[in-house]
Amino acid sequence: MRRFQVTSLNAPIVMSKQATHHMLDVVRLAPKERFVVFDGNGLECEATLSRVERGLAIIELVSTPTEVSSLRRSHVLVGLPKHASMDRALRMATEIGVTDIHPFVAERSTAKGERMKRWEAITGASTAQCGRSDAVRVHPANSLREHVASLSPETLRFIALPGAKPMPPPTCQNPRAIVIGPEGGLSQTEVTYCLREDFLPVGLADFTLRTDTAVALATSWIAQ
């Protein structure tokens, strides 16, 4: 069943111009065809297209909104890689089940600045495609220190380092966070800082990984 994200499940629900175009011109929904709408906060229900007014689709709910099981809070702090690698990392992290993505400009990052609209569009499309009902929080690009400072005190902290020993995922229900470096890896200054902030080294694989591959493996590890 097709899935579309909306800002609220309170009627009337008017789709945006972009969502209307996707619904009518790309997907080509049939009259009375049912689809799922979700609000990005864990609620979803079935709906149908009611009518189109002034070029915008208006939808009608046909079931009671229900709350799906919420995911454990999991954070990936990723040193900004090249744009294509970041796009792939966002898609995979969303599909696997991360809740928060924190991009930071690492000392060895070649990409600079943030592309929030593109990042949110990628995670939004991936959320609808994979069947999630909670939106991934993509935080504005910031320094590593500022992202670390935003983590709650009970968050379990890890840093992915080449050569570090692998370990089984934690079994407790605490929030989790893991730091991933950009293509050139984390600098010794960044590693030292993380270790001082109680991040535990963890190995993800036997070989050197691309940033997007590392994000996928790290997400799979902390989201279990």
What SS3 state is found at 113? coil
155: left (phi over 0), alpha (psi -120 to 50) or beta: beta
Domains of the chain, by residue range, sit at 3-67, 74-222
pLDDT band at 125 (very low <50, low <70, confident <90, very high): confident
Q: Name the CATH superfamily for 74-222.
A: SPOUT methyltransferase, trefoil knot domain (3.40.1280.10)
Give the model's confidence band at 204: pLDDT under 50 very low, under 70 low, under 90 confident, else very high: very high
pTM of the model as a whole: 0.76
- Averaged pLDDT, 203-207: 90
The string of pLDDT tens digits covering residues 169-198 is: 888 889 999 999 999 999 999 999 999 999
Contact (CB, 8 A) for 129 and 3 = yes
**CATH topology assigned to domain 3-67:** Ribosomal Protein L25; Chain P (2.40.240)
Sequence-separated (6 or more) residues with CB below 8 Å from residue 166: 202, 203, 204
- Pairwise CA distance, residues 155 & 140, whole Å: 20
